[in-house]
Amino acid sequence: MKKHNFSSGPSILPQEVFEQAAEAVLDFNNSGLSLLEISHRSKDFVAVMDEARALALELLGLENKGYQALFLHGGASLQFAMIPYNLLGANQKASYLETGTWAVAAAKEARLFGEVEIAASSKDANFNYIPKEIGVSPDASYLHLTSNNTIFGTQIQSFPEVTIPVVCDMSSDIFSRELDFSKFDYIYAGAQKNMGPAGVALVVVKESILGKTGREIPSMLDLQKHIKGESMYNTPPCFAVYTSLLTMRWIKNNGGLAAAEKRNREKAALLYAEIDRNPLFKSTVQGEDRSVMNATFVLTDERLQERFDALWKAANISGLTGHRSVGGYRASMYNAMKIESVQTLVDVMKEFEKQA
Amino acid sequence: MKKHNFSSGPSILPQEVFEQAAEAVLDFNNSGLSLLEISHRSKDFVAVMDEARALALELLGLENKGYQALFLHGGASLQFAMIPYNLLGANQKASYLETGTWAVAAAKEARLFGEVEIAASSKDANFNYIPKEIGVSPDASYLHLTSNNTIFGTQIQSFPEVTIPVVCDMSSDIFSRELDFSKFDYIYAGAQKNMGPAGVALVVVKESILGKTGREIPSMLDLQKHIKGESMYNTPPCFAVYTSLLTMRWIKNNGGLAAAEKRNREKAALLYAEIDRNPLFKSTVQGEDRSVMNATFVLTDERLQERFDALWKAANISGLTGHRSVGGYRASMYNAMKIESVQTLVDVMKEFEKQA
């Protein structure tokens, strides 16, 4: 019996994607060959990469606007270094909005390449809100944002308007909502939340912001080389790219980002309503900063933990334990999660209240 | 019907590995969850990574000798930059044996970090041999070798003895033969030939050679950080690691490297004997430098190409076309290839001779 998987990442993907990916491992496109054993330069795989790159731009509404989509090795963590390597000159400054663990990690890598200013930080309150007043130097090379903070359960709902290029880590909410993505110059996302399995990152970059630092860049970190190589500068992580393509097709076939956002808001509303109503639970984030993807909450009486844990595990729920830096619980409700799974969790919370 | 897949990479893996990998995509270890949707910090996946790291050292006979095995993002191409980043100080020199396209690419990246000397090169003859006389500065930080040259069909059979650390790209012959691996200080291999699917690289490094350059290294390129993180500094490419583990288990269960080498030598002997015997074919590499993994050969009469191509395609053979820089044909006979597939190719070559 399939579990209700609230894991924060790697995380749930659509069941049909699992089935199609497994089939491709056995026999890809009825070719008599596994997806894992065919050349990345073969006609069949080039078609996968081309469709994946085009569909990423299509879902974001960024076709024919000077953007390139790339599927790269290294996850979002390698992007933390690639961004300053490609965008931050040695005597330049970059501005980082510090909203959580990953934003801090991204800024740390940038300091190896140039000056870093912190536009604002919510570290004072264990990152339980998104700072609204931010100070960005107009001469900074770029502003770096993290749109959704998986660990702390916060999400930027209203993006700052600035005149410099905006770089955004959308690892945990890519393809989960409609936005005017043309306001961003560099979007990146590790696949393993809303897009695919671990082992690949999507980078969507406006070509015009590249090539300005005068720095020599190792080939595998050079975005212009990856663009020239049509995202196959070296052998790409073929299985992770293909499975990401399957997920993007699923998103498109189910109404695109508008429908995904509607489903995600319904799931989040259902769960947050119960967290707010049920006296045994308390949200760790208030108001508009709450993430639609990851709801973090704690017990009002920690002595009841064992009893609650037994209840949700018995209901075939998994992956609900919160990150050690927040504690409590975290329900990740990515694109592929059905509202029935959230309802199961809400039912468990109500049952817990009855029994307490 | 399954094809005889001579692809140079991504390439054939054992059929049971495809079946086990596909099953894990549907349901991992009967957990009710896909391998793709579980946390890399979960007990089940940590066990995969631990076993993969231990088994890599065991197969190479390098347990308890100061080596660490890592499974990293980025393929061998990212290693081209990570090696000098970690080993080559700004005022130091590294020595590269230039035996093909990948050796040239590796040396190119090193030039961004320090001085590069070419210990020897076979570029003069389109890399169709392995240079035997090499000049290595005794004060070089390391000597870089490529043990097998997929494109040109050459392989180092006797390794140079030097007093400096030896770094070796074994992407296309890892786990294919017995060697005294303790003579190497840094072994690396993109998975997609003998070890697994594209999207992960194995790095086996002697810890004592690290941390000596005084250079600040971006976290994702810092081998000491990856060692400290037990190969999970960030979310690893879980599926590629697991499939590599399945392949390593298969190698171990089938007699380890000694048996793999015996099978590989039998396959290569069968094919090279036919190339040498059949007047319609000519090997592009002579004598001891011939690769046991990749046999490269051309037609003595190129006008017969269409006829030969039709014959091998009709025999359900795929992936036989040579790399554009050599032309002709390339038969890659990695660990997972059965001798029956090589026999099928040999039979086609004999039939071709009869018909010509």
Residue whose pair of structure tokens reads 């009002």 in the numeric block: A300
User: What DSSP designation does A113 have?
Assistant: T
- Residue-by-residue pLDDT tens, chain A, 356 positions: 689 999 999 999 999 999 999 999 999 999 999 999 999 999 999 999 999 999 999 999 999 999 999 999 999 999 999 999 999 999 999 999 999 999 999 999 999 999 999 999 999 999 999 999 999 999 999 999 999 999 999 999 999 999 999 999 999 999 999 999 999 999 999 999 999 999 999 999 999 999 999 999 999 999 999 999 999 999 999 999 999 999 999 999 999 999 999 999 999 999 999 999 999 999 999 899 999 999 999 999 999 999 999 999 999 999 999 998 899 999 999 999 999 999 999 999 999 999 98
Confidence of residue B214 (pLDDT cuts 50, 70, 90): very high
Q: Which residues contact A287 (CB under 8 A, 6 or more apart)?
A: none
A172 part of contact set with chain B, CB < 8 Å: no
Look up B212 and say whether it is catalytic.
no
Q: How many residues does chain B have?
A: 356
Q: How many A-B residue pairs are in contact by the CB < 8 A criterion?
A: 194
Residue of B nearest to A24 (CA): B22
Rounded CA separation B267/B301 (Å):
25
- pLDDT exceeds 70 at position B1: no
Look up A193 and say whether it is catalytic.
yes
Joined tokens for residue B31: 């957990």
Domain ranges of chain B: 15-253, 256-355
Q: Which helix (H) or strand (E) holds B264?
A: helix B256-277
The dihedral through the CA atoms of B226, A318, B51, A19 has a sign that is negative
Among A10, A34, A236, select the one facing B235 at the smallest CB separation: A10
* Per-residue CA distances from B248 to A236, B266, B340 (Å): 22, 21, 22
- pLDDT exceeds 70 at position B73: yes
What is the per-residue pLDDT for B2? Answer: 80
Rounded CA separation B8/A250 (Å):
32
Q: Which helix (H) or strand (E) holds A251?
A: helix A238-253
Joined tokens for residue A87: 């965008």
Does domain A256-355 sit in CATH 3.90.1150.10? yes
Compute the C-alpha angle B217/B219/B222, nearest 5°.
Answer: 60
Joined tokens for residue A198: 């671990």
What pLDDT digit, counting tens, does each position of B260-318 carry? Answer: 999 999 999 999 999 999 999 999 998 999 999 999 999 999 999 999 999 999 999 99
Nearest alpha-carbon partner for B201 in A231, A81, A234, A69: A234
Say if the Cβ atoms of B34 and A40 lie within 8 Å: no
- pLDDT exceeds 90 at position B356: no
Look up A169 and say whether it is catalytic.
yes
Q: Which residues contact A243 (CB under 8 A, 6 or more apart)?
A: A13, A17, A21, A196, A197, B36
Q: What percent of chain B has pLDDT over 70?
A: 100
Rounded CA separation B235/B13 (Å):
24
Rounded CA separation B92/B32 (Å):
53
What is the per-residue pLDDT for A334? Answer: 98
Average pLDDT, stretch B320-334? Answer: 95
What is the per-residue pLDDT for A320? Answer: 97
What is the per-residue pLDDT for A325? Answer: 87
Q: Of residues B173, B185, B193, B312, which has the active-site annotation? A: B193
Say if the Cβ atoms of B234 and A75 lie within 8 Å: yes
- pLDDT exceeds 80 at position B162: yes
A114 part of contact set with chain B, CB < 8 Å: no
Q: What is the DSSP string of B3-48?
A: -EE--SSS----HHHHHHHHHHHH-GGGSSS-GGGS-TTSHHHHHH
Rounded CA separation A107/A124 (Å):
17
Mean pLDDT, chain B, integer: 97
User: A41 a known binding residue?
Assistant: yes
The whole-angstrom distance between A71's CA and the closest CA on chain B is 11
- Look up the ipTM and state it: 0.98
Question: For the domain bounded by A15-253, which CATH number is listed?
Answer: 3.40.640.10
